[in-house]
Copies of this chain bind each other. A is one copy, B any other.
Amino acid sequence: MRDGEHSRDRLLEAATAEFAAVGIAGARVDRIAEAASVNKAQMYRWYASKDDLFDAVFAQHLDRIVDRVPLTPNDLPGYVVALYDSYLDAPELVRLASWFRLERAPTGDLLATHGDRWSYKLDLIAEAQAAGTIVTGITPADVYALLISIAGTWSPISATFTATEQESAAQHEARRAVLRGVVERALVGGG
């Protein structure tokens, strides 16, 4: 029983690495089973298909994808900088979310099929707008979308240039300063 649980943990860990690297269509279940030293027949008893295995991996990481960095409505620059750092620390989470967008949820709300993941954040933003610490005239959903997008300027899915841990500390500090200034000017209210 214990052994089975450990096998399952190893399987999900190997599947996370494989799906983050090559996506759902690109993933090979044989490769995952081998990397996890799990018997293929056992794997198929737990997850009937590659899609089921991806669903399990995505569900397992959803909290880390969405809530890894707590939203601090009275410190939006700090929030965006913390997101920048989180993308640097865990690029596999951004890649999983991006494969999910491309392969599973081509339009609309990314997490429409995963319950209500945003609304408490939107409430926090609305409160901060009422208190004057976030600019008004932009819906809370749009403020949130902008924060995520600005934070992802150099993310692992960037359309221009990704940040990596191989770069210098000074490079990262410069980007953090840019993010702080942009968010301060664009979204922080007069108080």
Assuming A26-B103, A103-B26, A186-B186, is B178 touching A161 (CB within 8 A)? Answer: no
A159 and B148 form a contact (CB under 8 A) = yes
User: When A103-B23, A137-B181, A138-B178 are in contact, do A154 and B145 touch as well, CB less than 8 Å?
Assistant: yes
Is A141 on the interface with B (CB-CB < 8 A)? yes
Closest chain-B Cβ to A90's Cβ sits at a distance in Å of: 14
Q: CB within 8 Å of B: which of A127-158?
A: 137-139, 141-142, 144-146, 148-150, 152-154, 156-158
Q: Identify which of A2-10, A29-37, A40-48, A94-102 touches chain B.
A: A94-102
Q: Choose from B97, B145, B152, B186 the contact partner of A161 (Cβ within 8 Å).
A: B145
Q: Is A110 an interface residue (CB 8 A)?
A: yes
Question: Please, which residue of chain B has its CB at the minimum distance from the CB of A21?
Answer: B106
Whether a CB of chain B sits under 8 angstroms from the CB of A107 is yes
Chain A interface residue number, banded? 35 or more
- Contact A158 B101, CB 8 Å, known A107-B164, A138-B178, A178-B146: yes
Chain B residues with CB under 8 Å of A116's CB are none
A150 CB contacts on chain B under 8 angstroms: 146, 149-150
A103 to chain B, nearest CB (A): 7
A-side interface residues toward B, CB under 8 Å? 22-26, 94-95, 97-99, 101-103, 106-110, 118, 137-139, 141-142, 144-146, 148-150, 152-154, 156-162, 164, 174-175, 178, 181-182, 185-187
Sample (29) of A-B pairs whose CB atoms are under 8 Å apart: A24-B26, A95-B102, A98-B98, A98-B102, A101-B157, A101-B159, A102-B102, A102-B157, A106-B162, A107-B156, A107-B162, A109-B160, A110-B160, A138-B178, A139-B174, A141-B160, A141-B161, A144-B160, A145-B158, A146-B150, A146-B153, A146-B178, A146-B182, A148-B160, A149-B158, A149-B159, A150-B150, A152-B159, A182-B186
